[in-house]
Amino acid sequence: MKHRYTALAVLAVLGTAACEPGQLGTTPAADAPADAVSEAAHQAQASAPAGGQTAADVLATLAVKGRAPKTGYDRDQFGPQWADVDRNGCDTRDDVLARDLTDETFKPVTRDCVVLSGTLADPYTGQTIAFAKGDGSSVDIDHVVALSDAWQTGAHRWDEARRTALANDPLNLLAVDYSANRQKGDGDAATWLPPERGYRCAYVARQVAVKAAYGLWVTQAEHDAMAGVLDGCPGEPVPTQAPAQRPTPAPAGYPDCAAVRAAGAAPLHRGAPGWSDSMDGDGDGVACE
């Protein structure tokens, strides 16, 4: 059954210390401490777009500059892939799959963390795609604002914690068609837009929201391409929150079924963390139905 996650997490990041110019082009730094990443990721939306604005309005507030050099860019500069930034016990890739797929199945005894299969209504192509873990060529997780683009429009000045937060921000992540994502590569709105024209307004609005929240700039070509798309949908709202995330699992050892349900872990199956035979009144291996 499709899980309806209700806990919201907005991973907008504010002014963390910038790297000194002499640090650019060095080898990637050691992974940022989890506390620093979590702090960066959960600062409230002080610099994110306010509700009620259109994407065109927010685009007008973004700085327009030339692209910084790509020197020093490496995926590792944005921290470990799919870090559990929100500390819910599941990595970010599986969080996004669980959010964006329907009819998901999960690996047993992973507290519904590891997605094994599901169906994607792909926003980039309009196609319906069957996903199976390990197939390698059906579904990708796309960074809506590509990390290389972010590096060249401000992120090269950030610390590791802020870059890790951006790389794992659900507002900047979408489950999409593998081939479309590979075609996009590091492209910005001036070089790539989704083939599904009906999704372009929402796609550009999402890029604008991410760039505004993180203080990234746009190039003139990128600005003009974004403005051209938004001219066709002048009322397109700018997203102000990340899509829903999974609830954080409660620790093992639930005192009763009320605690299991409050943690979003019901029904609880025998062998799962927190299981107790005392909660399985009918002895069928499923508690707190």
DSSP string spanning 160-222? HHHHHHHHT-GGGEEEEEHHHHHHHTT--TTT---S-GGGHHHHHHHHHHHHHHHT--B-HHH
Residue 49 lies in a domain: yes
Q: What local confidence, expressed as pLDDT, does residue 42 receive?
A: 59
Q: Based on the fold, state whether residues 56 and 125 are members of the same structural domain.
A: yes
Q: Which is nearest to 166 in space by CA: 180, 177, 156?
A: 156
Q: What local confidence, expressed as pLDDT, does residue 28 receive?
A: 40
Q: Based on the fold, state whether residues 233 and 281 are members of the same structural domain.
A: no
Q: Based on the fold, state whether residues 38 and 161 are members of the same structural domain.
A: yes
Q: Based on the fold, state whether residues 219 and 268 are members of the same structural domain.
A: no
Tell me the pLDDT tens digit for each residue of 83-127: 888 888 899 999 999 999 999 999 999 989 999 999 999 999 999
Q: Based on the fold, state whether residues 95 and 176 are members of the same structural domain.
A: yes
Q: What local confidence, expressed as pLDDT, does residue 21 receive?
A: 31
Burial class (CB in 10 A: 0-12, 13-18, 19+), 94: buried
Q: Based on the fold, state whether residues 92 and 45 are members of the same structural domain.
A: yes
Residue 283 lies in a domain: yes
Residue 9 lies in a domain: no
Question: With bands split at pLDDT 50, 70 and 90, how would you rate the model's confidence at 75?
Answer: very high
Residue 221 lies in a domain: yes
Q: Based on the fold, state whether residues 186 and 266 are members of the same structural domain.
A: no
Q: Based on the fold, state whether residues 139 and 84 are members of the same structural domain.
A: yes
Question: With bands split at pLDDT 50, 70 and 90, how would you rate the model's confidence at 11?
Answer: very low
Domain of 262, in residue numbers? 257-287
Question: According to DSSP H, which parts of the chain are helical?
Answer: 34-41, 55-59, 92-100, 147-152, 160-167, 178-184, 200-214, 220-231, 257-262
Tell me the pLDDT tens digit for each residue of 163-215: 999 999 999 999 999 999 999 999 999 999 999 999 999 999 999 999 999 99
Question: With bands split at pLDDT 50, 70 and 90, how would you rate the model's confidence at 4?
Answer: very low
Distance CA 167, CA 161 (A): 10
Name the residue with higher pLDDT: 114 or 44. Answer: 114
